Amino acid sequence: MTTTKNIGKLAHDLTEAELIAEVKNYIEQAGSLITLRKGSDRDYLRVDGWQYIIKKYGLIPLPDDAIKLEGGGYLVRCTLVDEEGVIKGRGEMSCGSKGDSPWDKRSDNDQRAMAQTRSIGRAGRNRFAWLVVACGYNATPAEELPEDDSKMISYQTPQPSSAPAPTSNSTVYVGNRAMLCPRHNEEWVPMGNGAAHKTGEVGPNGKNIFCDMDRFAKEQLDRLLRIQSSLGMSDQDIQAFVTGEFDNRGWTQLCAEERQHVIDNIGQRGSPHHPESPQEIEREMLGL
* Residue pLDDT tens, the chain, 288 long: 334 446 788 988 898 889 999 999 999 998 888 888 765 567 889 999 999 999 999 999 999 999 999 889 999 999 999 999 999 888 999 999 888 888 999 999 999 999 999 999 999 998 898 889 888 888 889 898 876 443 333 333 333 333 333 343 455 554 444 567 777 777 777 776 677 878 878 777 888 888 887 778 778 887 888 887 777 777 778 888 888 777 777 777 777 777 888 888 886 644 433 344 444 444 443 443
Residues 100/162, Cβ–Cβ less than 8 Å: no
